[in-house]
Copies of this chain bind each other. A is one copy, B any other.
Amino acid sequence: MGKWTEELTQEQITEVNRQMAIYRKGVQELIPSEDLERKVAKAVSEKRPLKIKLGLDPSAPDVHLGHTVVLNKIRQFQENGHTIQIIIGDFTGKIGDPTGKSVARQQLTDEEVKENARTYFEQFGKVVDMEKVELHYNSKWLSKLDFEDVINMAGKITVARLLERDDFEKRMDDHKPISLHEFFYPLMQGYDSVVLESDVELGGTDQHFNILMGRHFQEKYGKEKQVAMLMPLLEGLDGVEKMSKSKKNYIGIDESPNEMFGKAMSIPDELMIKYFELVTDTGPEEIDEMRTQIETGELHPRDAKMKLGKTIVKMYHDEKKAAEAEKHFISVFSERLVPEDIPVMKWTGEDEVGVLDLLVELNLLTSKSEARRMIQNRGVSLDGDKVEDPKLQVSVKVGMVVQVGKRKFVKIEM
């Protein structure tokens, strides 16, 4: 505990410690930890809110559970009276964020950026109180900068420092091109923090470099440095890659109860507890208890996962819908004798495919004519629903279960 305690009453110290315990929960990196404590202490003693920043790339507006890891943290700050600054990188979006990509992303038009931002706003309301949030478009200040301003900004950072960013370093090593304009994404993100005088910036660990740019530029422009609060990345349904729209391994927060529940049931057992920790409001004691019960065999992983599915559906719909989704899942899968270990097959074809092609390509049947006969005999189901029309176009999805006859099952992976 730092020097800040000297000027605080015992009651205030208790309050700082209470808030710090909440903010530290689930955080992977806090840079530097003592700065956050000092800032919270000052906020408590001066009775003024901290400014908590979250920058959003408007190129992928479908909000999924991966986003909620950070949004839940935002809500914690909000519940303690702090000010949330959400920055829509509408200007930044014209460049695209090359984080974690090995090729430059395509630039968005003004129109696309605005439309995507609107979609974000609507969905965020499910997690945070949007009426208490400060919304900012960074084009407001960035579009006003002229060449001389840009040069002044560029004069405050070295090329070597920028090349330290993992993806830039890798691309240099691999002799893959980095377009000079990509260097400006982290600069802009840092400059946003200068303009907004943010106290804390939130993001996933993949934002490590960009969020530290905020500290760098705030110092160079003579401002107090923000704290970088980095949350763990949530793996998607495949259990390997970061949850993202482009990997198609996500649970969207505006999906239907049945979709949500089904997808939750498809995550690997090993990730269950991490999901409870990062995307649900389940308390740490309850999570610890579940972990122990699973280890001792007292709780079947399938039942724990059912609980996870219900918890998630309840958060984004309601308790009744959660119960119905569970019931639907059980009736479709468990009661129709879906075996415990369904073989999983990777789908590499088109997202939209005729049902006959689907059955043949999955090697469930040997020819289209055989497939057509099986459908006419009411022997084919998709996610428990009988297929009636041999001309049906199927939207292939992760976790979809294809059944032929009584015993042949395949679960699709993408």
Contacts and interface: CB of A to CB of B under 8 A. Distances in A.
A394 interface: no
Nearest to A180: B154
Interface of A: 91, 94-95, 107, 142-152, 154-155, 157-160, 162-163, 168, 172, 175, 177-181, 183-184, 187
Contacts of A147: 91, 142-146, 149-150
A184 B154 contact: yes
Contacts of A172: 159-160
A36 to B, nearest CB: 29
B160 A178 contact: yes
Contacts of A107: 155
Contacts of A184: 151, 154
Contact of A183 (B148, B154, B160): B154
Contact of A154 (B149, B160, B177, B179): B179
Contacts of A163: 159
Nearest to A168: B159
A185 B35 CA distance: 38
A162 B177 CA distance: 11
A158 B178 contact: yes
Contact of A175 (B95, B145, B160, B168): B160
Nearest to A141: B147
Given A146-B147, A151-B94, A181-B154, A159 B159 contact: yes
